Structure 1
Amino acid sequence: MRVVLSSWGSRGDVEPLAALAVRLRELGAEAVVCAPPDEEFAALLERVGVPLVPLGPSVRSVVSGAEPPSTQDAFRLAAELVAARFETLTAAAEGSDVLLATGLMPAGVRSVAERAGIRYVFACFHTVGLPSRHRPPLQRPGRPSSPDETDIEVLWDEDAQRVNALYGEALNRHRAAIGLPPVDNVRDHVLTERPWLAAEPGLVPWQDLTDLDVVRTGAWLLSDERPLPDDLEAFLAAGPAPVYVGFGSMAMRATPDLARVAVEAARAHGRRILLAGGWAGLAPIDDRDDCHLVGEVNHQALFRRTAAVVHHGGAGTTTTAALAGAPQVVVPQLVDQPYWAARIAELGIGAAHAGPAPTVDSLTAALAVALAPGTAVRAMAVAGAIRTDGATVAAKRLISGE
């Protein structure tokens, strides 16, 4: 059996596919990942021996400019990704049995599967993008809804119209070229009536689910056995558990002096600091020995040895920190991150920072919540209940055709 796993998005959109590919391989299936050609993603997949087929532009080239992407940029990217999916996945799907898609609205993937006559599965790592009677949709590029509109059904209808505006023309043009009829509702066509949810049930409770018939597999977690670097081990051994601060693939433009803010907030609590450079470019602000810079390391091992984890609230980082039993401070930037911030606060395992631009005072206050003894106790309790078999559940479903 051969499975093609497709995504375009941040590391949190790619690493779960690596986990699923590894588990598929262990169960006797062949798996390939089609993902952005960023160096970090290529290195990740190479480390676990999963083939990478480059798909679309690098994420970093899109999100790391001097200014955030504009609405016009979003429309250009949408058309570019549709074209890339038809081109790249048509070749990758040859001889395959299943095409699974996730990441940024994967318009085009189902069409490729339809033309090839193979099974299509849409998977997501949260429910906030799935239509629901219980909450309004996220913001998307395009014509906004009226601020006076409160009817949730109307808001979701307008969300579908925005998706059509972004992807509809390109999708239907490519479908026509391969003899397929047009799609009226791109969003619902992509999501299907039975999407898969690859999220930890304790972090995404049933009350937050969509009205769709969701298949819950649990989070797809990639086991990481790498030892921590010697210099990091030495820093950890030299004093009490530090506060980790890292924002992954977020540029964090709203706080240009973010490293200073983070270091001073941690020092206000008498804590040592681990700064993860990432795409935000964090770096020590002085020569004091209470701050250490880390690169791409084993977060599963590291987070267990921290006093708190300050991050952007991506699904992957949130789940990894929760599994480690580390108290969290989530500084949400976009998309699903405000949901994860609110959920961490609701569970009592950390703090949700108010807004995307922390100050020394605001981050110090959030850290006070995370560093409180009761928060650590609750974080360990939540960690003990987290499932780790999600990738196995998903792999078995793909192989069995469920």
Structure 2
Amino acid sequence: MKVVLASYGGRGDIEPAVVVGRELARRGHDVCMAVPPNLVGFTETVGLAAIGYGLDSQAILDAQRKYWTCYFRTPWRIRELRRMGRETAEFAARCWAEMTTTLTSLADGADLLIAGLIFEQPAANVAEYYDIPLATLHFFPARAHGRLLPFVPAPLSRAAM
């Protein structure tokens, strides 16, 4: 079975997908990873084929760190916060376009597409385009659930999320 794993983010976001990819390869599946360009080398060191996917993730991690540092240390700098927010949104839009192009090419002929939580939407679009199954790798709780606020009834807690 040909499996494409698409994962974006920092190394900690990529590692769970790499573990899944290694296990699938060990079981005899043809696995190709789509990861940020700055993490292709890391992915290849474990024996998996890897393709650069999206833009260098370190750039967005740095931009987000600067934004949140400004937000909490100097929240009165509204113009600077807006500018950084726009830059982050523009980066995400460029990244989305790049990911879609790469993944459309990579997933041609795949039997299964697996995506991480970050930027799973482009993977969903590609899976729908090729009519192949999509699985999202959940390696930490990120979906609405009733356990976030245990003192609130579960339906209200889910709605708050």
Same fold? TM cut 0.5: yes
2:134 aligns to what SS in structure 1?
A: strand
Q: Alpha-carbon deviations, 1:317-349, whole Å to 9, x = none?
A: xxxxxxxxxxxxxxxxxxxxxxxxxxxxxxxxx
CA distance in structure 1 between the partners assigned to 2:92 and 2:41 by the alignment: 26
Other-structure match for 1:27: 27
Other-structure match for 1:100: 114
Q: For 1:62, which of 60, 63, 67 is the aligned residue?
A: 60
Change (3 A) 1:67 1:130: closer
Structure of greater Rg: 1
CA distance in structure 1 between the partners assigned to 2:140 and 2:110 by the alignment: 27
Aligned-pair RMSD on alpha carbons? 2.1
Other-structure match for 1:53: 51
CA distance in structure 2 between the partners assigned to 1:55 and 1:84 by the alignment: 7
1:68 aligns to what SS in structure 2?
A: helix
**Cα shift at 1:125:** 1.1
CA distance in structure 2 between the partners assigned to 1:78 and 1:13 by the alignment: 16
Q: Alpha-carbon deviations, 1:355-388, whole Å to 9, x = none?
A: xxxxxxxxxxxxxxxxxxxxxxxxxxxxxxxxxx
- Number of corresponding residues: 139
Other-structure match for 1:6: 6
**Cα shift at 1:92:** 0.4
1:33 aligns to what SS in structure 2?
A: strand
Give the counterpart letter for 2:57 in structure 1: V
Please tell me whether the aligned partners of residues 117 and 138 of structure 2 are also in contact (alpha carbons under 8 angstroms).
yes
The runs of 5 or more residues in structure 2 that have no matched partner are 68-83, 150-155
Give the counterpart letter for 1:84 in structure 2: E
The runs of 5 or more residues in structure 1 that have no matched partner are 137-150, 157-402
Please tell me whether the aligned partners of residues 36 and 58 of structure 1 are also in contact (alpha carbons under 8 angstroms).
yes
**Cα shift at 1:67:** 6.3
**Which structure's relative contact order is higher, taking Cα pairs within 8 Å and 6+ residues apart?**
2
CA distance in structure 1 between the partners assigned to 2:107 and 2:158 by the alignment: 36
TM-score normalised by structure 1 residue count: 0.32
Pairwise mapping of residues 205-354 of structure 1 onto structure 2 (< 5 A)? none
Other-structure match for 2:157: 152
**Cα shift at 1:85:** 2.5
Change (3 A) 1:155 1:95: same
Q: For 1:130, which of 133, 136, 143 is the aligned residue?
A: 143
TM-score normalised by structure 2 residue count: 0.76
CA distance in structure 1 between the partners assigned to 2:130 and 2:53 by the alignment: 18
**Cα shift at 1:153:** 4.7
**Cα shift at 1:66:** 10
Q: Alpha-carbon deviations, 1:276-300, whole Å to 9, x = none?
A: xxxxxxxxxxxxxxxxxxxxxxxxx
Change (3 A) 1:9 1:103: farther
Q: Which has the higher helix share?
A: 2
**Cα shift at 1:32:** 0.6
